[in-house]
Amino acid sequence: YKLWMQYNTVADSTVVLEYKNNLKGVVVLGNSETIRIAEKELKTGFLDMLGNIPEIKSDIKGENNLIVGSQSNLNAEIKKELRSDFDKINNEGFIIKSISLKNKRQIVITGKNDVAVLYGVFHFLRILQTNKSVKNLHITDSPKTNIRILNHWDNLDRTVERGYAGFSLWNWQKLPDFIDQRYIDYARANASIGINGTVLTNVNANALILTPQYLEKVEALANVFRPYGIKVYLTARFSAPIEIGNLKTADPKDPEVINWWKNKSAEIYKRIPDFGGFLVKANSEGQPGPQNYGRDHVDGANMLADAVAPFGGVIMWRAFVYSEHDANDRAKQAYAEFQPYDGKFKENVIVQVKNGAIDFQPREPFHPLFGAMPKTPIMMEFQITQEYLGFSTHLVFLPKLFQEVLEADTYQKGKGSTVAKVVDGTLYQNKLTGIAGVANIGNDLNWTGHPFAQANWYGFGRLAWNPYLDSETIADEWLRSTFSNDENFIKPVKKIMIESREAVVNYMTPLGLHHIMDTGHHYGPGPWVSNLSRPEWNPTYYHKAGKNGIGFDRSKTGTNATAQYATEVEKLFDNLETCPEKDLLWFHHVSWDYKLKNGQTLWNGLALKYQEGVNQVATMQNVWNQAEKYIDSERFNEVQMLLEIQHKEAKWWRDACLLYFQQFSGKELSAGVEKPT
Ligand code: GCW
């Protein structure tokens, strides 16, 4: 339940001694709710990790104090000492620095406001949690994106779309008067990793959330989250003016509709002055939108943008669209629809794009919209909840996937135009930037279903703060703060976390295969024909296996989806010789005898990949079995049981896919691949 804030007792006595010597007193400056939270967090951390709380002082006396407070609350001497550090940080950034004041050593944690100080405090506690030295600290760190936000796909009846960790945290029935401790713990966990926004409701939206009855509950949550620096956002159902406003239309050009949204926004901001804005899914998968009235995404987004602009709100408009009218290649539709709108959106609109062009697969090439709309802020949408990656049953460390996408080079402004640079705004100097993650959180005791799925929430937050972080660093921090600092535990377990992403790709969708999960729920294999009405809901649409081979030809001999990328990338993917093998069947249809780089035929290579995935899970099990003595038995057993299921299901994936594809390849399984039982 305590997530990565276990604050385990520091085991190493020399480390304890160092901490005690350097942290003799704590001076907390300022009096806001946020500062009180920071103080409380420090006390909890000290007590749990070191067994006692250093003396809390009202002013700076003696040496080796920890001085905590925002810039305006620091005395002139400290301010002077930190002048150049303050120049380096933005409004949400913090400074942690060992300084010498009148020849006395002190450590200062500061920032330009109290929330930034709170971020610094959490960072400092992480230093202690990971048993790093506190001598000669000099850290300045600022988030690289403005909006670091969770998207909850939570419905008002507390079911969670694609949620695998119980019901929604938001207990609408008991709100606004009953404040569940979980809301506070949720805020604390998010603040500890720098998440500063949350969309409370599902993108498949219910207009009722915008009625006064619900807004008063939203207001109560916003009040809880505010001191933690977290803004509340809601999803706006485009047809809300009809459903709850008694209007005949939701046409974004209709004066009454425009007015309705203006009044609705004013009503919300009256309750919640720092309300973040709206997230909108429009004209996608049956959701209403401007196209219902012959208008386009720009008309819809800009109308809402005008409504929230006077209050500083933003509109996050999703680019996840695909229609049944053009079933040629679903991967092309978002780019085709949105790219021509570049430069047409109001400045408080940010277009939210999924990491890949299909839908949160174990592996997808980066979405071609990244870098392709220089005049439009684009934000990243990752999925933390494992819709296509084994729900909360399979151990998959997602920061590895996130990192792969962020590091991908779009070449849109020449070499080095990485997705991370699009997302943090440095490529085109966008002011508005952001990263969203579809939450994997529910009311399960451990929040995320799988104990290791907590690492995906954690890692998402860390990457939203700094999209250039390495997933290994993230795994290391998380393991130490969640389980133990023992190297004998950390080293092997970190390794399996890092490998878990490739394992899931191997046993589900190797070599660029995608969307062959069973239809609807997306759990388990289902490459065979389904009876769903739309062609692109059918897994055979994605793998196109036949006697002549397998794969989706998106090169210029096929749907030419590759043309949506910058020339360098287009060429790379288009050419069978240069297309990375990990994306092979995403971009090409090749024969069963096609020779892979390792000399294997495609059929053999595919089978061996499936087997490798199974073997990797077996290794994960072996490693985990050695971890028993380092951690509590409850979490040990849970993970052990889950890995057992994962192993069984990896074999299920291998057998189902290979037996199915074998009908087309007509070939024996290669040596080294276990025969299905
Ligand atoms: O991944 C798909 C999911 C839908 C989801 C949709 C979306 C919220 O299967 O459940 O709807 O994407 O992102 O809008």
Per-residue pLDDT, 677 = 76
The whole-number pLDDT of residue 534 equals 80
Looking at ligand 1, which residue's alpha carbon is closest to its atom 12? 359
- What is the model's pLDDT at position 95? 98
Q: Report the atom number in ligand 1 closest to the C-alpha of 162.
A: 10
Atom of ligand 1 nearest to the CA of 360: 1
Residue where a domain stops, chosen among 126, 141, 156: 141
Q: For residue 164, how far is its CA from the centre of ligand 1 (angstroms)?
A: 14
Residue of minimum CA distance from atom 2 in ligand 1: 359
Residue 575 lies in a domain: no
Q: Give yes or no for a contact between 408 and 419, defined as CB atoms under 8 angstroms apart.
A: yes
Mutate to test the pocket of ligand 1, among 152, 155, 159, 162 (most ligand atoms within 8 A of CB): 162
Please report whether residue 476 resides in a domain. Answer: yes
| Residue 564 belongs to a domain | no
Query: How many Å lie between the centroid of ligand 1 and the Cα of residue 283?
Result: 13
Residue 251's DSSP bridge partners are none
Summarize the confidence of residues 105-122 as an average pLDDT: 98
17-65 pLDDT tens trace:
999 999 999 999 999 999 999 999 999 999 999 999 999 998 999 999 9
Domain count, the chain: 3
| pLDDT category of residue 324 using cuts at 50, 70 and 90 | low
| Residue 522 CA, closest ligand 1 atom number | 9
Same domain, 125 and 153: no
Tell me: do 173 and 47 sit in the same domain: no
Q: Does the C-beta of 519 come closer than 6 Å to ligand 1?
A: no
ipTM above 0.95, yes or no: yes
Cα dihedral 250→310→94→459 (10° resolution) = 0
Whether the CB of 162 sits within 6 Å of ligand 1: yes
118 and 171, same domain (yes or no): no
**One domain for residues 135 and 57:** yes
User: Are 100 and 200 members of one domain?
Assistant: no
Task: Compute the distance between CA of residue 106 and CA of residue 241 in angstroms, rounded to an integer.
Answer: 58
- Tell me if 580 is assigned to some domain: no
Q: Flag whether pLDDT at 114 surpasses 90.
A: yes
Determine which residue's CA is closest to atom 11 belonging to ligand 1.
204
* 281 CB within 6 A, ligand 1: yes
SS3 state of residue 41: helix
Ligand 1 within 6 A of 148 CB? Answer: no
Q: Looking at ligand 1, which atom is closest to the CA of residue 203?
A: 8
Q: What is the pLDDT of residue 475?
A: 98
Cβ of 387 less than 6 Å from ligand 1:
yes
116 alpha-carbon distance from chain centroid = 21
620 CA → ligand 1 middle, Å:
30
| Residue among 317, 382, 387 whose CB has most ligand 1 atoms within 8 A, to mutate | 387
* Within a domain: 501: no
- When pLDDT is averaged across residues 285-310 and rounded to a whole number, the result is 97
Q: Using CB atoms within 10 Å of the CB of residue 178, give its burial: 0 to 12 exposed, 13 to 18 middle, 19+ buried.
A: exposed
Query: Closest Cα partner for 596 from 615, 610, 609, 611?
Result: 609
Judge if 273 and 347 occupy the same domain.
yes
CATH code for the domain of 270: 3.20.20.80
The answer to whether 299 touches 305, Cβ cutoff 8 Å, is no
CATH label of the domain that carries residue 91: 3.30.379.10
**131 and 156 share one domain:** no
Dist CA 351 CA 437 (whole Å): 14
Evaluate if residue 669 carries a pLDDT over 90. yes
User: For residue 161, which atom of ligand 1 is closest to its CA?
Assistant: 10
Instruction: Assess whether 457 and 541 both reside in one domain.
Output: no
Mean per-residue pLDDT for 335-357?
A: 98
Place of tokens 């006077």: 310
Side-chain-facing half-sphere of 206: CA atoms under 13 Å: 17
Compute the average pLDDT of residues 100-119: 97
How many angstroms separate the alpha carbon of residue 204 from the centre of ligand 1? 8
- What are the tens digits of pLDDT across the range 517-559? 999 999 999 999 887 878 778 899 999 999 999 999 999 999 9
Ligand 1 close to Cβ of residue 359 (< 6 A): yes
In tens, the pLDDT along 404-416 reads 999 999 999 999 9
Cα(636) to ligand 1 centroid in Å equals 33
Looking at the fold, whether 254 and 304 belong to one and the same domain comes out as yes
107 and 75 fall within a common domain: yes
Residue nearest atom 3 in ligand 1 by C-alpha distance = 162
Ligand 1 midpoint to CA 611 (Å): 30
Distance 547 CA to ligand 1 centre (A): 33
CATH number at residue 524: 3.90.1330.10
Angle at 381 between CA 377 and CA 384, to 5 degrees: 155
204 lines ligand 1 (CB under 6 A): yes
Residue 161: CB within 6 Å of ligand 1? yes
Q: Of 201, 285, 383, 518, which is best to mutate to test ligand 1, by the most ligand atoms within 8 angstroms of its C-beta?
A: 285
Please, which pLDDT band fits residue 271 given cuts at 50, 70 and 90? very high
Encoded tokens for 437: 């993650």
Joined tokens for residue 644:
């057992």
Please work out whether the CB of residue 381 comes within 6 Å of at least one atom of ligand 1: no
Task: Give the residue from 229, 211, 230 showing the smallest Cα distance to 172.
Answer: 211
Residue-level pLDDT at 326 = 64
Query: For residue 395, is it within any domain?
Result: yes
Q: Which residues contact 304 (CB under 8 A, 6 or more apart)?
A: 236, 252, 261, 278, 280, 315
> Each residue of 440-463: b (16+ CB within 10 Å) or e?
bbbbbebbbbbbbbbbbbbbbbbb
Residue 488 lies in a domain: no
Whether 256 and 396 map to the same domain: the answer is: yes
**Statement: residue 325 has pLDDT above 70:** no
Q: Looking at residues 656-670, what average pLDDT do you find?
A: 96
Closest Cα to atom 13, ligand 1: which residue?
A: 320
Taking the CA of residue 202 as reference, the ligand 1 atom at the shortest distance is 8
How far away, in angstroms, is 610 Cα from ligand 1 center?
27
For 489-552, the DSSP string reads HHHHHHHHHHHHHHHHHHHHSGGG----BPTTT--SB--S----SSGGGSHHHHH--BTTBB--
* pLDDT tens-digit readout, 180-236: 999 999 999 999 999 999 999 999 999 999 999 999 999 999 999 999 999 999 999
Q: Which amino acid does the sequence have at 300? A: G
State in Å: Cα 280 to ligand 1 middle: 13
What is the per-residue pLDDT for 253?
98
On the question of pLDDT at 401 being above 70, the answer is yes
Output the pLDDT for position 586: 98
What's the gap in Å between 671 CA and the centre of ligand 1?
39
Atom of ligand 1 nearest to the CA of 354: 13
Structure confidence by residue, pLDDT tens digits, 445-487: 999 999 999 999 999 999 999 999 999 999 999 999 999 999 9
Contacts of 392 (CB under 8 A, 6+ apart): 164, 165, 385, 386, 440, 448, 449, 450, 453
Look up the domain containing 595 and give its range. 506-552+589-665
Residues 252, 311, 155, 288, Cα dihedral to 10°:
10
Confirm or reject: Cβ of 320 under 6 Å from ligand 1.
yes
> Which residues are catalytically annotated?
285, 359, 387
DSSP labels, 348-407:
TEEEEEESBSSSS-SS-PBPTTTTT-TTS-EEEEEE-S-TTTTTTTS---THHHHHHHHH
Which ligand 1 atom is at minimum distance from the Cα of 287?
A: 14
* Greater pLDDT, 13 or 326: 13
- Residue 490 located in a structural domain: no
Tokens linked to 467: 């999209």
- Residue ending a domain, among 141, 174, 205, is 141
Write the residue with the smallest CA distance to atom 1 of ligand 1. Answer: 359
Task: Show which of 141, 175, 198 is a domain's final residue.
Answer: 141
Average confidence (pLDDT) over 488-492: 98
The residue to which tokens 């087997």 are assigned: 611
Return the pLDDT at 511: 98
Do 135 and 159 belong together in one domain? no
